[in-house]
Amino acid sequence: MEQQAISKVCLLAGKIMLESGAETYRVEDTMVRIAQAFGMDNAQSHATPSAITFAIDMTEQVHFVRIDERVTDLYKVSRVNSISRHISENKLTVADAREELLKVDDQKYLFSQLMRIFAAAFASGCFTIMFQGSWYDFLPAFVVGGLGYSALQYFNHLLKIRFFAEFLASFLLAFSAFVLIETNIGVAFDSIIIGSIMPLVPGLLITNAVRDMMAGHLVSGITKAVEAILTALAIGAGVAIVILIFY
């Protein structure tokens, strides 16, 4: 019963981290460290972007958890890391650790949807200036970037087809930029597009893919790299269609 409880704690920690955007090697390392802190020195773990397998020992029963959805929530990753450190310092029992992890798992986003949209919009305007755009394009990029990020969140919730939400969001984003240019609200179409599209770029996926491959997790690294490339292609296709139609 104690081994089962430890396995559940390890799998729950790994599940939260992988669903929140953590690197594969970090997920495996955290699970093994938690098991070792509870006296299971031969624990084995294996994680991919869509599944986690874990065993207390090489000859023990293997447990499996499937990961269906992944988002970016680095606060949860940080919380699990903190709980893991407390376990390693013998500050938490198995039951206490499971209770703390369940609280993290049930926790919603640290920032509200409106706050995230505002942050994406503000970042879009700043990226436009950073890429040598005009200050006259700051406000149009702010509006277009916020609209594009809102569309991405809406289509991700509405559709269950991977990469289609990114395509629709980038199409709407580019079309909005075109409308602002035609109404003389914006100055440079390319500057507005470059700035406002940055919140949609799969930066975390690219970073995690490189870090996983450097850590020797080639399967996970290549999988995430392909996912990042397909996401980038979907975003580029949405913008390209607007350019082909209206320019």
> pLDDT of 175-213, one tens digit each?
999 999 999 898 899 999 999 999 999 888 888 889 888
Residue 132 has pLDDT above 80, yes or no: yes
pLDDT at position 160 over 80:
no
Percentage of the chain lying above the pLDDT 70 cut? 100
Please give the span between the terminal C-alpha atoms of the chain, in angstroms, as a whole number: 67
Starting at the earlier edge strand, list the strands of the sheet with 51-55.
44-48, 51-55, 63-66
Distance of alpha carbon 158 from its chain centroid, rounded? Answer: 18
Q: Which two tokens stand for residue 205?
A: 């996926």
Residue for token digits 């702010």?
Answer: 142
Sequence-ordered list of residues with C-beta below 8 angstroms from that of 91, at least 6 positions apart, any chain: none
pLDDT at 1: 66
- Length of the chain, in residues: 247
Q: Write down the pTM of the prediction.
A: 0.83
